[in-house]
Amino acid sequence: MSDDMLRAPAEAKFAEELDYLESIDDSPKPFSWRLSPRMIRVFILGSERSDGIDREISQKWFGDRSFVERSIVTLASDRGLLLIGDPGTGKSWLAELLAAAICRNSTLVVQGTAGTTEDHIKYSWNVSMVIAKGQSRQSMIPSPIMTAMERGVIGRFEELTRSTSDVQDALISILSEKYVSIPELDDDNIVFAQPGFSIIATANSRDRGVNDLSSALKRRFNFVRIPVVTNKKSEAEIVRFRTEELLRRHRIELDLPPTLLDILLQSFADLRSAAASATSDDDKLESALSTAEQIGVLEDAILHSHFFGDRVLRAQTLAGSLVGSLARRSPEDLAILNKYWHGVVEPRSKKDGGEWPEFLKGGREAIATLS
C-alpha cells in the first residue's frame, strides 16, 4: 500500500513492524493505545538484544532515548507534548512516529501558519448543507484536532509558534477541559475527548518572538527540547538512513560513497563553526545548516547524477548542489561560501587530496555561475 503513495505516513511505511510488535506485546497499555510504552520505544529507536525480540526492528529516529521516553510518558498522562528545537532536528518525524505507534494514525495534523484560524483546530461548516438543511452535526466539518478528540487518538499541531495568539488560546480550553462546545447547535452541542486523546505540537526555537506562547498554554504542555545533532557519527546515520529511503522511493540504484558523505558532513561542520564565530548576521549563511538541509543537498546531488549525469555521485556534483542549496541571498551568502571555498576547501584539497580537489572545482564553478 505504501508503494502507491508519494510519501506514505509512518503507519503505512512500517505497517509490518507495527503488526509484529502488536502481536507480541503483552505489556500494559495506557488508554486504547495499540502498543505499550516499551514497544513504542522499540519501534522508534530500534530493537536491541536486551529487548528479547526475535526479529530486528529498524531504528527510525536518531537521538537520546531519554527524549523518546519522556515524550511517551507525557502522552500517557493528560498533558500535551511540545517538541521544541532548531529546524531540522527531527521534531516532526518523532511526532509522526509517536502517533503512528500509539494509534496507527499520524495524519490528523494542523499546520500552523499566520493564516491558521480557530476553525482549523475546532470546526467549520459545509455551507451548501447548511443552506439546504440548516446547521447540524451532519453539516459540521470537524478539524483534525476535533476528530482526534472524538476517536481518542493523537492530534498533531505543527509549528505552533507560527500561529496567532487567538489560535493558541483556543488550544487552552481543549487541553484543559478536554471538550469543544458548539454554540450554534441546540442539541448534541458538546464534543468530549475520548480516553487516549492528546496533542503533539512542534515549535522551532528560532521562531521565538514570532508568536510567543502564553504562560497558560505553556502550563498545558510538557516541553521536550530536541538538540541539534553534533555527533558526527549520529548525523551520518541520519543522513544515510534518509538517503536510502529516498533511493528506495525513487527506485534509484546509486551508491553513496562514504568519502563523499564525509565531505558533506565536514563541510557543514566547518560552516557551522564559521557561523558560530560570526559577529553579525551578514557574516552568517541564511541557512540553518541543519541535518535536514544536508539531506536536501544530498538528495539534489543524487537526483542530478541520476537524471543528468552518469548515475554515479561525484564530488563535483555534490559541491554544486551544496552551493546551489545554501546560496539564498545574493551577494551575502555567495561571499560567505566563496570565502569558505578559498580559505578552507582549497587548503584541504591540497593537503588531503582524494575527492577534495574535485569538490573544490565543483564549488568554484557553481559560485562563479551564480555570481
* Residue among 327, 305, 232 nearest 270 (CA): 232
The pTM assigned to this predicted structure is 0.84
Please state, in angstroms and rounded to a whole number, the distance separating the CA atoms of residues 231 and 229. 6
Report residue 198: phi and psi, to 5°: -160, 170
Among residues 100, 105, 107, which one has the least CA distance to residue 21?
A: 100
For the chain, what is the radius of gyration of the CA atoms? 24
Question: CB–CB of 34/101 below 8 Å?
Answer: yes
The whole-angstrom separation of Cα 36 and Cα 18 is 12
pLDDT (tens digit, 0 to 9) for every residue of the chain, 371 residues total?
555 677 889 999 999 999 999 999 999 999 999 999 999 999 999 998 888 888 899 999 988 889 999 999 999 987 899 999 887 788 999 999 999 999 999 999 999 988 899 999 999 999 999 999 899 999 999 999 999 999 999 999 999 988 888 888 889 889 999 999 999 998 889 999 999 999 999 998 765 545 678 888 888 999 999 887 777 788 888 888 888 877 877 788 777 888 999 999 999 999 988 888 888 877 888 888 888 888 899 989 998 998 898 888 999 999 999 999 999 887 889 999 999 999 999 999 999 889 999 999 999 999 999 87
11: its cell numbers: 503507519
SS (H, E, C) 346-367: HHHHHHHCCCHHHHHHHHHHHH
